[in-house]
Structure formats: C-alpha cells, structure tokens
Amino acid sequence: MFLNHLRNPFINLQTSEANFNKLAATHLERLKANNTGNRFESLILQTEPLYQAYISTITTSSGTSSTKESKTVSTNEAIANLKTYISRKEGVIADKFPKKTSVYQEFFPLGLSEYRLASKKNIQLLAERFIKAAQLHSATVGKEIAKEAQSLLDIYTASRTQQLQAIGSVKGMSGESKARKKALALQLYKNLLHILLENVEQTDQVKTYFDISFLRKTRREEKSIAA
C-alpha cells in the first residue's frame, strides 16, 4: 500500500490529452501566481519549457492527423474513380471482344468483379494490367481508354504516396508527443514532491497548486453514463 503512494500519478493518469493539458497549464499558472519571493522560480523555469514543448507537439500532431484524414479521403476517392471508369469501359471492350474471347480475358481474366473488389493492396497492379491491354488493342478499343485510365491511376498513386507519408508523420509525431508528455509528467511529479516537502504538516496545500476537480467530475460523469 505504501508503494502506491510513491507512484507518479501524472504518468498513470488515465485521462484525455485535453485534461492533462489543462492540469499542467493550471498548475503552471498557480505556481506563477504564488511565486512570492521567487519561491517557485526554479520549478517554473524547469516546467515551462517542458510544457511548451509538449503543447507544441500536440498542436502539430493535431494538424498532421487532419492532413492524414484528408489524404485518406482523397485516396479513397481516387480508387473509387478508377474502379468506376474501368467498370464503365467494360461494356465498350465486351462490344469489341466478347467475354469468351482471349482478348477480353487479357482485360478481365477473373471478370469485372476482380476490379470491383480491389483494394489498395492490388488496385495498382490490376489497373496497370488493364492499361497494358488497352494499349495493346488501342487500334480496336481506341487510344483514349489507356490514356484516361493511366491518368486516373497517376492520380491514385500520387494520392496514395501522400497518404502513406502522412501516416508516417502521424506515427512519428505520436512517439514524440508521448516522450514530451512523459518528460512533463515527471517534472509535475517533482513539483508535487517539492510542494509536499514544503507542507509536510499541511499536505492539503497541494490542492492550491494542482486542480484535479475537473478530473473527478469526468469520472463521475463516466460512472453515471455507465450506470
């Protein structure tokens, strides 16, 4: 039981980023407000840069996440447009080369459903196969099919590349954000211990510097919803 009191409550805190940010920001504000005679100057100088580093990562991470979501939407639209185009041109190709012919099989060896069920894992290979067949038989089906399909594929590949880059950025920012949050949580714990040492006979004074009332409210609301 004694060891439980030695755990860092800020690292173990199961709360949202918004609430952790509010706790840290409020604590820093209260240190400054009660910094008479520069009694907390050392804590402020150690805490403020860690807080600024943490909040900057959160802000950047939020923007990066939005970018990732935007790129995901663009990629999904691009793959849908490519599938739709190939589906529409199936009728043109079947009109020139009936479904049982070998040439039709070059375009649709497993039928049109293979394209309809395609995912990001295989759509590029399928589209490249379709374009190759369209180029080979352009004299019959027309040059525009290969050209337009290639254009749609280029849009998809560019969008997919940007999406993967955005996903990588989010993962990188997530790791950095966690590291900066931990550094801040450790400093908050040091501050807590410092204030406790100053008030060993009046430990309730800690509440003056750490406002966790909104955390308790959140937990009560969660229990009420769960009930």
Taking the domains of the chain in order of start, what are their residue ranges?
59-226
- Residue 186 CA to residue 20 CA, distance in Å, equals 13
Q: What is the mean pLDDT of residues 8-21?
A: 77
- Residue 18 CA to residue 27 CA, distance in Å, equals 14
pLDDT in tens, 126-159: 999 999 999 999 999 999 999 999 999 999 999 8
Does 156 or 172 have the greater pLDDT score? Answer: 156
| Number of C-beta neighbours around residue 87 at 10 A | 12
pLDDT in tens, 26-48: 999 999 999 999 999 999 999 99
Mean pLDDT of the chain: 83
Q: Which two tokens stand for residue 129?
A: 């196969």
Indicate if the pLDDT at residue 205 is higher than 50.
yes
Q: Which residues, including other chains, have CB under 8 Å from residue 187's CB and lie 6 or more apart?
A: 46, 47, 50
Which has the closest alpha carbon to 145: 107, 119, 116?
107
* Best mean pLDDT range from 6-10, 50-54, 169-173, 208-212: 50-54
Whether residue 7 contacts residue 189, with contact meaning beta carbons closer than 8 Å, is answered with: no
What one-letter code names the amino acid at 103? V
